[in-house]
Amino acid sequence: MVPPPLATTLIDAAPIDYLIVALYFAVVLGIGVVARRQVSDSVDFFLSGRSLPAWVTGLAFVSANLGAVEIMGMSANGAQFGLPAVHYFWIGAIPAMLFLGVVMMPFYYGSKVRSVPEFMRRRFGTGAHLVNALSFALAQLLIAGVNLYLLGSIVHALLGWPLWVALIVAAVIVLSYITLGGLSAAIYNEVLQFFVIVAALLPLTLLGLHRVGGWNGLQDKITAAANANPGTIAPAADQLNSWPGTALTGFSSDFLSVVGIVFGLGFVLSFGYWTTNFVEVQRAMATDSISSARKTPIIGAFPKILVPFITILPGMIAAVYVTEIADLKAGQSVPGGASGDGVTYNDALIYLMRDLLPNGLLGLAITGLLAAFMAGMAANISAFNTVLSYDLWQQYVVKDRADDYYLKVGRLATVAATVIAIFTATLAANFSNIMNYLQTLFGFFNAPLFATFILGMFWKRMTATAGWVGLSAGTLSAVLVAFLSEDAFGSLSTGLIPVSGQGASFVAAGAAFVVDIVLSVVVSLVTKPKPAEELRGLVYSETAREDLVDPAEAGYPWYRRTMPLAGIALVVVVALNFAF
Amino acid sequence: MASPGRTRTAGLFDIRTIIGGLLGVYGVLLTLMGLFGDAEEEKTGGINANLWAGLVLLVVGVAFVAWARLRPVQVPADAGADDA
């Protein structure tokens, strides 16, 4: 179904706003055209010729993740839960990003693989590889569709274009810049959109703080709102302190809530996501040296630490400043919203833009949102085409052809993926909360993958059979937990285990991790390991120390070395956890 | 792997120039809106938000272009000079 154009749009855009949006798209397409002149072989197209400096890939690393879920979802969480939402950043991202840079990146970069599934194949053979590559490709198509749908619905709400027009225009623009320039163009655009998003959200946050009377005024207003509606709004103390975050996890015990956040979100889910998600890792593999590859997630950690201040904070401001969101939080249902079916917390940021920004800055804010959703989709698609052409096509369908053949396959895969994404986007439109389900499902998938990876990297005895057995069993046990929980699978869940909300996906991920580790150890002890000489560069104990570090790095000043940077990021994030 | 010959062209379109250029143009547009357009101060609470945001963007944009001009990407592969 195509919804009719809105008679009045949520936000009043003026010609100056359209000009600012149009300028951005002109530059984005321009980058694609210029990047194309430099693409000469498949390493260039897929990994940007391994020529980018660390600060560029570091920002792209954060930007690739700074999409719809991050901006709309986290401002929604801020409006609904308040400060506990910061756990998704300071617990659920930073430690894992540092671990990726310090420990895991040398293996990825040093083994010269082009994708994470390819690393899987070299370590465990084809069984684990095929499972991993297929599910990854499918996941990327589905997420690209969700990103595209969100993009289309925002265009629809902001500019009043019909949803189907918005979907096709957005798909065509994303497609042109990826096919034109490959990963280089995608990464350059991600860096560019990072600055546009900051330029859009920072004034919004500052103006919002100004209107509510600064941080103290915001605290007073949140306290007043909570006291006025004790039945529907969580107590102010829970909203203004990040720990123990019981509202977020749904656990009634403070202790279990902290354990759930630290182990479930902080360890299994986030390490699983950040260290094995190829969309992210691919950015680091595009750098010029092992030192830059390691620094990519670590440099990315610094802006990542600050992102909550321009996403969660505006959400909290919207909950007390924007009438519609305040009414929603007080338990009323409010008509309107971006979807037209009633206001949700997802609309917090859009309403705040409407109430605070003059034309001009408004255009910049619209550009920032459009850029973020497009970048999310582009990242999914560029990861998809790498895995499809090298991990599936070259490995299992047509082997031993010249490099430009696979390059052509990659370009065709990009076109096909974009067309498929338009369909998965219309699929996503049928589910009002598909984001929750997708996230839960990918949590299941990432947790066992991380268990298999970490065991395989540090235990040379682990066998190929253990690789695919552990992976499959881990995923199955997480799916089982979801069925037995109260709502992780919606109405399909049976409620035998009394966990719900985020708590349920923490428990499912934890189960997947433990089952995977235990089974992998048991199976490894009864099957035959790979010979040690095949494990060089893949397993920690079989790899020479000098293979893992960049010889040039010792000569760099401290602010360009991996370990001091990681140490600083760790100190900052610990301090922030104590402060809030 | 990239051959040493090709890393030379990696800096052909320096990302810093592109960032600086776009932010700078946005800065000019917003500054003009702030000076001549409707500041809509009933929304912002008495602050000319376009003007201030425009000026900051202009400064950031110029800084990026200046960085790209003063420290161009080095040839060949040791891209240390522009490394953060």
The predicted-structure confidence for A441-496, as pLDDT tens digits, reads as follows 666 777 888 888 888 888 888 888 888 888 888 888 888 887 777 665 555 566 66
Tell me the sheet residues that pair with A287.
Answer: A52
pLDDT at A370: 82
Spatial CA neighbour of A375 closest among A143, A33, A204: A143
pLDDT at B28: 92
pLDDT at B12 over 70: no
- How far, in Å, CA of A262 to CA of A272, rounded? 14
CATH number for the domain spanning A65: value is: 1.20.1730.10
Verify that A337 and A426 share a domain, yes or no. Answer: yes
% pLDDT > 90, chain B: 17
Decide if B2 and A195 are in contact by the 8 Å CB cutoff.
no
Sign of the dihedral defined by the CA atoms of residues A252, A254, A259, A261, in that order: positive
The angle formed by the CA atoms of residues B15, A66 and A221, to the nearest 5 degrees, is: 125
Verify that A416 and A452 share a domain, yes or no. Answer: no
| Residue B42 belongs to some domain of the structure | yes
DSSP state of A521: H
pLDDT at A41: 47
Decide if B10 and A51 are in contact by the 8 Å CB cutoff.
yes
The DSSP-derived string for A25-70 is HHHHHHHHHHHHTT--SHHHHHHGGG-B-HHHHHHHHHHTT-SHII
Please tell me if residue B30 touches chain A, with a CB cutoff of 8 Å: yes
pLDDT at A416 over 60: yes
Give A 327-356 residues with CB within 8 A of chain B.
Answer: 355-356
pLDDT at B1: 39
For A522, phi then psi, to 5°, come to -60, -50
pLDDT at A73: 77
| Residue B8 belongs to some domain of the structure | no
- How far, in Å, CA of A338 to CA of A322, rounded? 15
**How many angstroms from the chain centroid is the CA of residue A115?**
17
Decide if A38 and B79 are in contact by the 8 Å CB cutoff.
no
Decide if B15 and A112 are in contact by the 8 Å CB cutoff.
no
Please tell me if residue A200 touches chain B, with a CB cutoff of 8 Å: no
| Residue A567 belongs to some domain of the structure | no
pLDDT at B58: 93
Tell me if A537 sits within 8 A of A547, measured CB to CB. Answer: yes
pLDDT at B77 over 70: no
* Residues of B with Cβ-Cβ distance to A361 under 8 angstroms: 30, 49-50, 53
pLDDT at A499: 63
* Residues of A with Cβ-Cβ distance to B50 under 8 angstroms: 358, 360-361
Tell me if A90 sits within 8 A of A301, measured CB to CB. Answer: no
Residue A497: band (very low, low, confident or very high) from pLDDT cuts 50, 70, 90? low
Tell me if A285 sits within 8 A of A187, measured CB to CB. Answer: no
pLDDT at A70 over 70: yes
Verify that A87 and A189 share a domain, yes or no. Answer: yes
Q: What is the rounded radius of gyration, in angstroms, for the C-alpha atoms of chain B? A: 18
* Residues of B with Cβ-Cβ distance to A19 under 8 angstroms: 29
A33 to chain B: closest CA residue: B13
Residue B76: band (very low, low, confident or very high) from pLDDT cuts 50, 70, 90? very low
Tell me if A513 sits within 8 A of A263, measured CB to CB. Answer: no
Q: What is the mean pLDDT of residues A550-556?
A: 68
> Which residue range forms the structural domain that includes residue A532?
433-549
The tokens of A364 are what? 């910049």
% pLDDT > 70, chain A: 79
* Residues of A with Cβ-Cβ distance to B6 under 8 angstroms: 38, 40, 44, 49, 51
Please tell me if residue B5 touches chain A, with a CB cutoff of 8 Å: no
Residue A156: band (very low, low, confident or very high) from pLDDT cuts 50, 70, 90? confident
Residue with tokens 């103006």: A207
Tell me if A24 sits within 8 A of A367, measured CB to CB. Answer: yes
Residue with tokens 């530059």: A27
pLDDT at A52: 66
Instruction: Give how many domains chain A has, as a whole number.
Output: 2
Q: What is the mean pLDDT of residues A377-399?
A: 82
pLDDT at A286 over 60: yes
Residue A1: band (very low, low, confident or very high) from pLDDT cuts 50, 70, 90? very low
Mean pLDDT of chain A: 77
> Which residue range forms the structural domain that includes residue B61?
14-72
Q: Which of B1, B29, B47 sits opposite A43 (nearest CB)?
A: B1
| Residue A575 belongs to some domain of the structure | no
- How far, in Å, CA of A119 to CA of A131, rounded? 13
Verify that A143 and A82 share a domain, yes or no. Answer: yes
Q: What is the mean pLDDT of residues A109-135?
A: 80
Verify that A211 and A279 share a domain, yes or no. Answer: yes
Tell me if A475 sits within 8 A of A512, measured CB to CB. Answer: yes
What is residue A431's three-state secondary structure? Answer: coil
Verify that A40 and A184 share a domain, yes or no. Answer: yes
- How far, in Å, CA of A433 to CA of B70, rounded? 50
Decide if A210 and B2 are in contact by the 8 Å CB cutoff.
no
Instruction: Give how many domains chain B has, as a whole number.
Output: 1
Please tell me if residue B33 touches chain A, with a CB cutoff of 8 Å: yes
pLDDT at B3: 42
Higher pLDDT, A170 or B25: B25
| Tens digits of residue pLDDT in B38-54 | 777 777 777 888 888 89
- How far, in Å, CA of A51 to CA of A440, rounded? 36
Tell me if A484 sits within 8 A of A551, measured CB to CB. Answer: no
Verify that A417 and A499 share a domain, yes or no. Answer: no
Verify that A100 and A41 share a domain, yes or no. Answer: yes
Spatial CA neighbour of A118 closest among A47, A67, A197, A48: A47
Decide if A49 and B7 are in contact by the 8 Å CB cutoff.
yes
A185 to chain B: closest CA residue: B15
| Residue B64 belongs to some domain of the structure | yes
Domain boundary among A393, A415, A431: A431
Q: Which of A55, A288, A358 sits opposite B38 (nearest CB)?
A: A358
Helices within A322-360 (DSSP H only): 323-329, 348-356
Q: What is the mean pLDDT of residues A196-201?
A: 88
What is residue A112's three-state secondary structure? Answer: coil
pLDDT at A306 over 90: no
pLDDT at A37: 65
pLDDT at B24: 92
Q: Which of A35, A38, A360 sits opposite B50 (nearest CB)?
A: A360
| Residue B54 belongs to some domain of the structure | yes
Spatial CA neighbour of A36 closest among A421, A389, A411: A411
Verify that A530 and A439 share a domain, yes or no. Answer: yes
| Residue B48 belongs to some domain of the structure | yes
| Residue A424 belongs to some domain of the structure | yes
pLDDT at A8: 57
pLDDT at A40 over 80: no
| Residue B43 belongs to some domain of the structure | yes
Tell me if A444 sits within 8 A of A477, measured CB to CB. Answer: no
* Residues of B with Cβ-Cβ distance to A358 under 8 angstroms: 33, 37-40, 43-44, 49-50
Verify that A346 and A460 share a domain, yes or no. Answer: no
| Residue A444 belongs to some domain of the structure | yes
pLDDT at A183 over 70: no
Q: What is the mean pLDDT of residues A154-160?
A: 74
The angle formed by the CA atoms of residues A303, A296 and A100, to the nearest 5 degrees, is: 100
pLDDT at A514 over 80: yes
| Tens digits of residue pLDDT in A209-250 | 888 888 888 888 888 887 777 766 677 777 777 676 666 666
A199 to chain B: closest CA residue: B57
Q: How far is A206 from chain B (nearest CA, A)?
A: 10
pLDDT at A47 over 60: no
Least confident of A154-168, A192-206, A452-466: A154-168
pLDDT at A394 over 50: yes
pLDDT at A123 over 90: no
* Residues of B with Cβ-Cβ distance to A368 under 8 angstroms: none
Residue A184: band (very low, low, confident or very high) from pLDDT cuts 50, 70, 90? low
* Residues of B with Cβ-Cβ distance to A196 under 8 angstroms: 22
- How far, in Å, CA of A508 to CA of A25, rounded? 41
Verify that A367 and A461 share a domain, yes or no. Answer: no
| Tens digits of residue pLDDT in A347-367 | 788 888 888 888 888 889 888
Verify that A174 and A317 share a domain, yes or no. Answer: yes
pLDDT at B8: 42
pLDDT at A389: 83
Q: Which of B25, B30, B83 sits opposite A361 (nearest CB)?
A: B30
Q: What is the mean pLDDT of residues A318-327?
A: 82
* Residues of A with Cβ-Cβ distance to B80 under 8 angstroms: 556, 560
Q: What is the dihedral of CA A186, A189, A194, A199, to 10 degrees?
A: -160
Is the bond preceding residue B76 a cis peptide, omega within 30 degrees?
A: yes
pLDDT at A307: 85
| Residue B4 belongs to some domain of the structure | no
What is residue A561's three-state secondary structure? Answer: coil
| Residue A6 belongs to some domain of the structure | no
- How far, in Å, CA of A153 to CA of A68, rounded? 11
Those residues with Cβ within 8 angstroms of residue A388's Cβ, 6 or more apart along the chain or in another chain:
A137, A409, A410, A413, A417
DSSP state of A540: G
- How far, in Å, CA of A192 to CA of A37, rounded? 20
Give A 271-330 residues with CB within 8 A of chain B.
Answer: 288, 292, 295, 299
